[in-house]
Structure 1
Amino acid sequence: MTWWQTDETHEASLTSWVPGAAGHPVFPVQNLPFGIFSFENAEPRAGVAIGDAILDLRAVAELGLISPAAAAACGEATLNALLALPAHERRALRTALSKLLCDAAQRPAIEPLLRPSATCVLHLPARIGDYTDFYVGIHHANNIGRQFRPDNPLLPNYKHVPIGYHGRASSIRVSGVPLVRPKGQRKAPDADAPTYAPTARLDYELELGVWIGAGNALGEPIPVAEAGDHIAGFCLLNDWSARDLQAWEYQPLGPFLAKNFHSTISPWVITPEAMAPFRQAQPARPEGDPAPLPYLFDATDQAHGALALTLEVFLSTREMREQGTAPHRLSRGPASNMYWTVNQIVAHHASNGCNLQPGDLLGTGTISAPEREGFGSLMELSIGGKEPIALPNGQSRSFLEDGDEVILTATASREGYASIGLGECRAVVLPAT
């Protein structure tokens, strides 16, 4: 079995005895994502989301119901050891948990190990050693490039190499942790010199996060045909951006303080196994585009490398929450708007011998649709601030203001299979200190 094949754990008819799990829009038994949670005064531990509950994996391991390798990994306070498990061990754990949560005979032993999600605190899933952000959303690249280079929005290397840069792992936070508006140097177009002040053009970026599982030794590339074995999961990622800081500092070395102040991720690691039914063919490149170099091309990856995910972004202002107004959807679009597959970005990252490690996080870069309703940032939606977005309560936004809350969601759907979600990725903007 490989990363794109399905098995009995994906059957739509499969139901769990856990109350509320059947038909759950995000965490039915066909999902079973891993995370780190705590409750009452207990220390953080590994868990699995099922319906509106979390199964305590440390407690499951203590009952001897999973393999010794999985039990040892589940006893840690981070998921690094679990992410590092060989793919066959991770699949075996998923199969065992599926049976425990679907077999009514197991209910007396397992039900006491469930905790209501509402009473738990979710933490960063792993100790993130390194974070790399890519730029594979071609429509976003075109939209942003067009604002600066109307006649030549894409740079010459874009269609030959997956563009990326190393971000800051220490400032990644789990969903729900507020974002403090950053300060930095920014320079008005008509000013003689920059000033140091809070950003006036704070933006979000709709991305997918890719969790690295088994790594590679320094100096040993990962072939693209084997890259799927090095991916341990997916999440949502909001790579917040200070556009005015970025415009001043990014030449000649690229993003720095405009990006490294805070990134938000959803708390659950959605495994490649859970995503197997939602694999689809990578969209064909437009006629005339260069073929990927051989080290980036694999026929199986092209046939199964894209993800059937619908991505959505919602905005809730402070006034909207005070008025009881529901969050306003800013955009909706498919995750297939990626010029490179996740396997290609992993293979490229390691192609020079760079060693990836369990718990490393890769961002896809902002994913935008070709149509305005699927744009993945305010920079695109407001055309660089020139066309503010009207909100249903009469407010408008060109960029984010203090008190705004941004919420990212993603749903995987395919006919014949139960839909699953990635969980929410949200944060409120606080004033600069």
Structure 2
Amino acid sequence: MRIEIPEGSLFGLANLPYGVFSAPGTPPRAGVRLGDSVVDLARALDDEVFAQPSLNPFMAQGYERWAQVRRQVTDLVSGEVPGEAVHAIDAVTLHLPVEVADYVDFYASEHHAANLGRLFRPDAPQPLTPNWKHLPIGYHGRAGTVVVSGTDIVRPCGQRKAPDEPAPTFGACRRLDIEAELGFIVGAGSRLGAGVSTSDFRHHVFGAVLVNDWSARDIQAWEYVPLGPFLGKSFATSISPWVVPLAALEAARVPTPVQDPAPLPYLRESEPWGLDIDLAVSWNGQEVTRPPYREMYWSPAQMLAHMTVNGATSRTGDLYASGTISGPAKDQRGAFIELTWGGQDPVEVNGEPRSFLLDGDEVVITATAPAADRTRLGFGEVRGRVRPSAHEGE
């Protein structure tokens, strides 16, 4: 059968993102999305590597294999596809696309870092910390709590201490927030003791996903000195089910903003890996902000180079995220703590002033980018709804 691509679809031939799906009566397996259809790659290509419940076995085959399969899939879906390999998108269940090996979250937006500096350190001479423009700051997260879009998020609990409270208390998070981010998935790992250079980025990173790094701001504020995020971040990180291949993002590549001072040699790039990607964040169905990824100071190639320069390994399935994506304008801020300036300047959501998330709230993040055929490609969505804490009364 020939797969029809609806006019204006964000999932045309220039995209072809990978995911893991199941149809009624079949186990999870790898597929590619085209239009409103999912192509079962194990059946279409007669290759058992795609009959696995994650993309990891395929990604581990490396860069040349990724390129070969992309050519095969493009040729296949441009013509006749076996009917038994094609499923309607609304007839399948989408799963976590990769088995996440390690998870690192960066802090790569100068606008976001400067805004939080002004909020948290209003008396400091500069909003950025002294090291910020010399290296991509990040922290190691919890791979086991990375979940696929559509998974409900239970309000986390922990210790909290507001400035006017004499001592900490235990209970449900009072200042639950989101962070709109882009995540990068390592396909081909690196050896212990051998870093990945910026020029080798494309040979190691398979593709990109949307990320919502849910954040318990009150728990985070009490715990983060001196070692940084812990329980305020580790309870859930949502990702989109579709992995957009790095090869599909060639037309979206742009230079990063001017980096001054010049980075140290291991962080310098011979080719630009900034990305012109537009995100949109909706809160209970209302769009509230549009963060632009092209404003990110540090590129994903620089993040990977820094993450491995000390000799740390990277592994198939590693996920590293950009940190909150924010632009210079108020309606480009990718976290609600920024958008509402710490709750002091609420935004109107469906006629109500809102600052942080309430139980029942739903957040949806989407994104598009220029495609090679001069259309636009999409990342799908990362969606999550907040559920009450099991310890609400404590």
TM-score w.r.t. length of structure 1: 0.87
- Offset at 1:28? 1.1
SS in 2 for 1:299: coil
Query: What value does the CA root-mean-square deviation take over the aligned residues?
Result: 1.4
**Structure 2 partner of 1:25:** 9
The answer to whether the aligner puts 1:305 opposite 2:282 as a matched pair is no
**Structure 1 partner of 2:63:** 87
- For 1:415 and 1:129, how far apart are their aligned partners in 2? 31
SS in 2 for 1:424: strand
- Offset at 1:299? 2.2
- For 1:277 and 1:413, how far apart are their aligned partners in 2? 6
SS in 2 for 1:248: helix
Q: What is the 5 A alignment of 1:7-406? A: 17-19=2-4, 21-62=5-46, 71-103=47-79, 106-107=80-81, 110-150=82-122, 151-285=125-259, 289-300=260-271, 304-316=272-284, 327-391=285-349, 393-406=350-363
Segments of 5+ residues of structure 1 without an aligned counterpart are 1-15, 63-70, 317-326
Give the stretch that moved more between structures: 83-92 or 254-263: 83-92
**Structure 2 partner of 1:66:** none
Matched AA of 2:352: Q
Structure 1's 101 and 415: CA in aligned 2 closer, same or farther, altered over 3 A?
closer
Give the stretch that moved more between structures: 415-424 or 209-218: 415-424
Structure 1's 54 and 296: CA in aligned 2 closer, same or farther, altered over 3 A?
same
- For 2:312 and 2:49, how far apart are their aligned partners in 1? 25
- For 1:239 and 1:415, how far apart are their aligned partners in 2? 29
CA displacement, residues 203-228 of structure 1 (integer Å, 9 cap, x when unaligned): 00010010001111101111221122
Matched AA of 2:296: M
- For 1:213 and 1:416, how far apart are their aligned partners in 2? 25
Matched AA of 2:302: Q
CA displacement, residues 332-368 of structure 1 (integer Å, 9 cap, x when unaligned): 1321121111001011111011000011100110010
- For 1:358 and 1:395, how far apart are their aligned partners in 2? 44
8 Å CA contact 1:24–1:51 kept in 2: the answer is: no
Identity of aligned residues (%): 43
Structure 1's 416 and 94: CA in aligned 2 closer, same or farther, altered over 3 A?
closer
8 Å CA contact 2:12–2:34 kept in 1: the answer is: yes
- For 1:163 and 1:413, how far apart are their aligned partners in 2? 28
- For 1:354 and 1:373, how far apart are their aligned partners in 2? 37
Matched AA of 1:247: A
- For 1:273 and 1:227, how far apart are their aligned partners in 2? 12
Structure 1's 60 and 414: CA in aligned 2 closer, same or farther, altered over 3 A?
closer
8 Å CA contact 1:47–1:54 kept in 2: the answer is: yes
- Offset at 1:22? 4.4
**Structure 1 partner of 2:370:** 413
SS in 2 for 1:333: coil
8 Å CA contact 2:153–2:387 kept in 1: the answer is: yes
SS in 1 for 2:58: helix
TM-score w.r.t. length of structure 2: 0.96
Matched AA of 2:337: M
- Offset at 1:99? 1.1
